[in-house]
Structure 1
Amino acid sequence: MADRRRGLAAVVALGVGAVVLAGCSSGTAAAGGETLPACSSLEGETVSLVVPYEPGGGYDSYARLLAPYLEQNTGATIAVQNRPGAGGLLALNNLLTERPDGTTIAIMNGVGAGGSSLAGAEGAQFSLDDFTYIGRVVSEPPLIVTSANGPYQTFDAVRQAQGFRWGSTGPGAEDYVTASLLSRVFEIDAEVVTGFPGSGETELAILQGALDGMSGNPGSRRQAIEEGTQTPVLRMGEQPPSWLQADVPWVRDVPMSDEQRALIDAHLALIEIGRPLVGPPGMDEAATTCWREAMAAAMANPDLLAAAQQQERELAFLPGAELDTLVQRILSAPPHYRELLASMY
């Protein structure tokens, strides 16, 4: 099938980066790079790039993919640090109190964090517009998958299920927010089983029959789908990855009422925020300018594009200023969307 997406297909090999100790430097910078003039204040500094999940998952892998190119452009040493907890919320709560000098940044689960914040969840101590947005790494609208050995081989079957079991890392994660929202909007008799450290453990539970399905980024689902252990039943993105069979329905193609469609559309806007890099609230102007320029340069670097292609990872950059605008649009979501999110917690 022709490639209908923005570029590179993505796949997460479980365990990638797990052997790299949290807090250790990501490695040497790409050869031949020079520090950007805007980043003179960070040159020679050690910067913590916080991943709010365990090593080996998609967020960890993206952070380690980007780190050498950010080092190249900033002149700083990037230390990738895994700080899991509360479904990704703990690291973001801690980021609120970090010094706004650009020496601590994080990769954020935009859907999970945004959904938790909009819902007023107890674990989310922030508003979505508290953070300084540096730029989006990728926007991968999630894919809904079920066990290939289970009774739910279509989304219609999921909708008719009795006691469907979703898997999730926790309330702060995309897999919780999307699964919960679909269950409410389409009145699915389901529960979300939380507490899995990462998507690898959730996948294992599906393989073992302890779960029926999950929501997750398409790249992380690709290996299991191609190995025949998971069945894709619904996609949240309009354009499918090039490797996915064409008959997997898009959520907006599912028959629904106007009220249901309004809720789905609000959620699709939240999904668009994707996986951004963010800094603490009120990050100083010099650091903000540095990071935004450094990320824009990194995301246009042919070496990074080649590395992403080799790892079969999609990239979809969105500048920090455009993310600011998107966040304001998300914060203007219909009240009943916020109410629905709040009811999930």
Structure 2
Amino acid sequence: MNTALPYRRSLRTLVALGLGAGVLSGCSSDSEPAASGGSGDCSSLEGETITIVVPYEPGGGYDSYTRLVAPYIEEEIGATIAVQNQPGAGGLLALNSLLAEDADGTTLAIMNGVGAGGSSIAGAEGANFSLDDFTYIGRVASDPSLLVTSATGPYQTFEDVVAADEFRWGSTGPGAEDYVTSSLISAVFDIPGEVVTGFPGSGETELAVVQGSIDGMSGNLTSRRGAVEDDTQTPVLVVGEERPDWLPEDVPTVAELETTEEQSELLDAHLALIELGRPFVGPPGMDEAAMSCLRTAMAAAMENPELVTESQEQERELAFLPGDELEGLVQDLMDAPPAYSELLATLY
């Protein structure tokens, strides 16, 4: 049996796993627009209507981020951007549909990197794509996950969750972050129970947690902040390396847990998957001019001071990563350690 040790993700560990370059490239949001690739000629898209599909119901974090950023990209291109919600299969329906769209740059989607990436790596039913099928425009945000429970329920710490006789997580479905992260944490720490799927969006899952219909959920940090600060949900674990200032100091990160070497390797790989975050993606083989336009426009939009201010007012942290760097990160993820992909495969 491996001896338990404090979990730490280091550069040396990431390089050993083949995940270092992509993770490090996402550490800064100050990437130069030139890194997005191409000259940014938008003549083919100017005056067109560009649809950005959100794979979930209106009102959730992915919907909010898309509607926050879209007007600034619209301004850069001189096009009209329409946001369309297409929920289904935990976010997989919209991505499967995107594969068949015209690759002229007029249809994009925001991807749930953890959910879609985990489903793809695992070869899950319903994920009819490989991560490298898509054209990557740029990442909007990269948000660690936060595990929460009801503030009035019996599970007020991560130790309570681990000790549960049966813990019920809530999820929109297998293609979502809340499914992949909660399932993986249960498997890594031998938490008995199940993941209850079928919630239309995070809002409905959140309500079920508060009402006690389910015991807990995984969600992005920024999306969970309001409920935590309103004292309706209790944060029990940050699935990330750093704890934000607005969380109590007694809420652990996975970096502070005692883990075996095997557990550490699995958590390392999953944190790298989290780095994929919330990217805008297009169909396979996108027209080069359209891709160049969209990448350059997004890079410029993400540096717009007005967008930065608005994101701060909405408490939606931005973490831009250019499309070409996302492609490198995707390649790293496809080469993830076999133990990680094998574990993901058992979750579906």
* 1:175 shift after superposition: 0.2
What are the equivalent positions in structure 2 for 1:206-245 lying under 5 Å apart? 206-245=209-248
Instruction: Provide the residue aligned with 2:93 in structure 1.
Output: 90
2:280 aligned to which of 263, 277, 280: 277
Q: Is the 8 A contact 2:57 2:63 kept in 1?
A: yes
What are the equivalent positions in structure 2 for 1:315-330 lying under 5 Å apart? 315-330=318-333
What are the equivalent positions in structure 2 for 1:164-175 lying under 5 Å apart? 164-175=167-178
- Compute the TM-score of the two structures, normalised by the length of structure 2: 0.88
Q: Is the 8 A contact 1:63 1:107 kept in 2?
A: yes
Instruction: Provide the residue aligned with 2:313 in structure 1.
Output: 310
Q: Does residue 1:267 correspond to 2:270, yes or no?
A: yes
Instruction: Provide the residue aligned with 2:148 in structure 1.
Output: 145
Distance 1:37 1:332, change over 3 A: closer
Higher relative contact order by CA 8 Å / sep ≥ 6: 1 or 2? 2
- Residues of 1 paired with 2:62 and 2:266: CA distance? 27
* 1:252 shift after superposition: 2.5
Q: Is the 8 A contact 2:40 2:289 kept in 1?
A: no
1:247 aligned to which of 238, 250, 259: 250
Distance 1:280 1:7, change over 3 A: closer
1:51 aligned to which of 14, 30, 54: 54
- Residues of 2 paired with 1:138 and 1:48: CA distance? 19
- Residues of 1 paired with 2:270 and 2:213: CA distance? 28
Q: What are the ranges of 5 or more consecutive residues in structure 2 without an aligned counterpart? A: 1-26, 30-38
Instruction: Provide the residue aligned with 2:202 in structure 1.
Output: 199
Structure 1 residue runs of 4 or more that deviate by more than 4 Å after TM superposition: none
Q: Is the 8 A contact 1:252 1:261 kept in 2?
A: no
CA RMSD of aligned residues (A): 1.4
AA partner of residue 204 (structure 2) = E
- Residues of 1 paired with 2:40 and 2:46: CA distance? 10
AA partner of residue 277 (structure 2) = G
- Which deviates the most, 170-179 or 153-162? 153-162
- Residues of 2 paired with 1:247 and 1:39: CA distance? 50
- Residues of 1 paired with 2:28 and 2:228: CA distance? 20
SS at match of 2:258: coil
Q: Is the 8 A contact 2:108 2:282 kept in 1?
A: yes
Aligned identity (percent) is 71
Q: Deviations over 1:219-272 (max 9, x none)?
A: 111111111111111001212222112221111221111111111111111011
- Residues of 1 paired with 2:40 and 2:182: CA distance? 44
AA partner of residue 299 (structure 2) = A
Q: Is the 8 A contact 1:138 1:274 kept in 2?
A: yes
Q: What are the ranges of 5 or more consecutive residues in structure 1 without an aligned counterpart? A: 1-5, 9-35
